[in-house]
Amino acid sequence: MPLEAGLLEILACPACHAPFKEQDTELVCTGQDCGLAYPVRDDIPVLLVDEARRPE
């Protein structure tokens, strides 16, 4: 599920504004206190806090 080149560089977590890292079918926030994982459906990141998975 590689995102289009450069897209990951401009996206930020809506909750804390930290950058993302790609992990399987999710974008995971790299913020130290956040860590929300946002789903990617049909190659489109769903950046809604209500849709995010909390860190385990």
Residue 15 pLDDT exceeds 70 = yes
Mean local confidence (pLDDT), 1-18: 87
pLDDT for 55 equals 85
Interatomic CA distance for residues 40 and 56, integer angstroms: 19
Tell me the two tokens of residue 9: 């560089």
Q: Which of 38, 49, 53 is nearest to 8 (CA)?
A: 38
Residue 43 pLDDT exceeds 70 = yes
Tell me the two tokens of residue 22: 């790609």
Please indicate whether residue 38 or residue 43 has the higher confidence score (pLDDT): 38
Interatomic CA distance for residues 11 and 47, integer angstroms: 9
pLDDT for 1 equals 54
Interatomic CA distance for residues 43 and 54, integer angstroms: 21
Category of 26 on φ-ψ map: left (φ > 0), alpha (ψ -120 to 50) or beta: beta
Q: What is the pTM of this model?
A: 0.88
